[in-house]
Structure 1
Amino acid sequence: MNAPLKAKPKKAEFAWHDPLLLESQLTEAERMVRDAARAFAQEKLQPRVLEAFRHEKADPSLLREMGALGFLGPTLPPEYGGAGINHV
């Protein structure tokens, strides 16, 4: 008469570092662009933006560097100077 106990279903785990699980959906090329943009933002952009803010002065060379790295107009085709990548 005693029915066997069923195991409780495992609860879904929440990934706080990637709540929408986007990491698994990126292609290798998209990961490379993301990593390059993150490195540029941390190493070059952040210190210069802080300095510009403190001294109330803009640094136009920053945009030239971003353009040279392909961060401006990334969805434009290469024949027009863009990187030809998608919006992700």
Structure 2
Amino acid sequence: MSVSTIHEAKTNLSRLIQKAERGEEVVIARGKTPVAKIVPIKKGKRRNLAIFKGKFKVGPEFFEPLPEDELRLWNGEGD
């Protein structure tokens, strides 16, 4: 883990991002106090929604506005 001041981070942002891409954590400090961290984003598996094709049908009524009483419940305005 490397530590950079805010000034160094502003000057070398591309280099710090490259470090994060390689898996390294980079700490940004204000003076000697750590205030932020640049970390790599973990890539997740892409979901294949095609497995649901033909399994169910969404009719046009799905897109109709909800009745007022149901909207109030969704908004926490009643029981």
Q: TM-score range by the shorter chain?
A: under 0.3
Higher fraction of helix: 1
Highest RCO, 1 vs 2 (Cα 8 Å, sep ≥ 6): 2
- Structure number with bigger Rg: 2
TM-score by length of 2: 0.21
